[in-house]
Structure 1
Amino acid sequence: MTTEIIATDAGDARITWHRAKKPVLILAVSHGAGGGIEARDLQALARVLPEHGVTVALVEQPWRVAGKKVASAPKTLDVGWRGIWPAVAKAGLPVISGGRSAGARVACRTATELGAHAVLALAFPLHPPGKPEKSRADELLGAGVPTLVVQGGNDPWGRPEEFPEGAYELVEVPSGDHGLAVPKRAEISQEQALEVLTAGVVQWVASLG
């Protein structure tokens, strides 16, 4: 594991690299508006994917690196993501653009522009809790590249059955909330929930060719 600071027009971002021995793909993935790269799903992917030929670049947006507690506006998040892209693309390997929650929105909005190979959207915030009329489906449907959504079955920001039909795949984590946490009474354990996530992503990555 290595880290590097990347200067962007939104401030300094930080990349923590989890490298595969013989990488064939790179997954650049960032956090949401309420947390950082310590999120359970991001850490699970960083542990598992390098064994399958995928180097994982965990990206901290400039607002997190600067120690701020409130996320930047969406346009500023996009600026930060554009700024780190040359660093993740310089190896010449196909890059999957990914993120959780607000980071998933960034990945979808910028995928075509940046030439992403695909998009991984973790806990995509389809709408604010209790406000299904404020849908962000257009961002997801507009990614323009192969897309996988991994969504908790009880995510108040969008349950799997609320998602519109479209050209993307969806893996449901049973009983998972927006952080893909499952309650103790759930039919699966937290460890099993993360296995659903990682197995789904590994299978999807293998299908990308």
Structure 2
Amino acid sequence: MSEFSEQRVLIDGPVSAEHTFIFAHGAGAGMEHDFMAEVAEMIADHGIRVVRFNFPYMVKRAEDGKKRPPDRAPKLLEAFKEVIAEYRTEKTVIGGKSMGGRMASHLADVEGLKGIACLGFPFHPPGKPEKDKGEHLADLSLSTLILQGERDTFGNRAELEGYRLSDKVTLTFIPDGDHSFKPRKASGHTETGNRQMAADHIAAFIKEVCQ
């Protein structure tokens, strides 16, 4: 039996789908969080198999209910690689929400991947733009999509104008969205609409890079 039991993995979409998206969670909430579940379902509606999983520290939280900080990057990356090895198909894109997307962006050299999709990339901690966590994005050699809320406190539209990115990276903004793409009521946009927009962008990206 695989190490990745049902407790660690959730799958949406057709089992025999042509395309696979391996979708990692953010630092504070696991694979079952509302954002993860809704976006996964929306992507799966495009006929894509979406694999969600919990990083080791979140598995422990699920077991004992105790909140704990994320594991160090090497442990997170190793866990991500294990899921990729287990669920990768010929047409696989990896990605994630916030921290999960940042971890995915460090795995561009994993053999067989077609692309990376990040939702709400944490370019810097809120209020600390000097602590840049996206410098490596200038050197990515794998097709990458970054979906960013225009008002994201981890890197908003104004801050990211002119940000140095590889020509393999496409940065797309979600209208009036915060870090989870939620807009203000007066904007005329909705949270569900923005999540659907993000899912549609990801599905189109997956099918494009996997041709």
Q: TM-score, normalised by structure 2?
A: 0.84
3-state secondary structure, aligned to 1:24 = coil
2:31 paired with 1:30: no
1:103-129, CA deviations, whole angstroms, 9 ceiling, x for partnerless residues?
Answer: 111101112134421001111000111
Map 1:1-209 → 2, pairs under 5 A: 5-6=3-4, 14-20=8-14, 22-67=16-61, 68-89=67-88, 92-163=89-160, 164-166=163-165, 167=167, 168-208=169-209, 209=211
* CA distance in structure 2 between the partners assigned to 1:100 and 1:44 by the alignment: 12
CA contact (8 A) 1:154 1:175 kept: yes
CA contact (8 A) 2:23 2:94 kept: yes
CA-CA distance at 1:42 after TM superposition: 2.4
* Comparing 66-75 and 26-35, the one that deviates more: 66-75
CA-CA distance at 1:29 after TM superposition: 0.8
Aligned partner letter, 1:173 = I
Q: Structure 2: any 5+ residue segments left out of the alignment?
A: 62-66
Aligned in 2, Cα 1:93/1:45: closer, same or farther, shift over 3 Å? farther
Aligned in 2, Cα 1:131/1:114: closer, same or farther, shift over 3 Å? farther
CA contact (8 A) 2:124 2:154 kept: yes
Residue of structure 1 in register with 2:64 after alignment: none
* Comparing 122-131 and 134-143, the one that deviates more: 134-143
* CA distance in structure 1 between the partners assigned to 2:111 and 2:7 by the alignment: 17
Q: TM-score, normalised by structure 1?
A: 0.85
Count of matched residue positions in the alignment of Structure 1 and Structure 2: 200
Aligned in 2, Cα 1:118/1:13: closer, same or farther, shift over 3 Å? farther
Query: Alignment RMSD, CA only?
Result: 2.2
CA contact (8 A) 1:98 1:120 kept: yes
3-state secondary structure, aligned to 1:83 = helix
* CA distance in structure 2 between the partners assigned to 1:13 and 1:73 by the alignment: 21
1:156-207, CA deviations, whole angstroms, 9 ceiling, x for partnerless residues?
Answer: 1001343324321122111211122223333211121112212222222232
Deviating beyond 4 angstroms after TM superposition, the runs of 4 or more aligned structure 1 residues are: none
* CA distance in structure 1 between the partners assigned to 2:180 and 2:3 by the alignment: 26
3-state secondary structure, aligned to 2:180 = coil
Q: Percent identity?
A: 24
Aligned in 2, Cα 1:125/1:35: closer, same or farther, shift over 3 Å? same
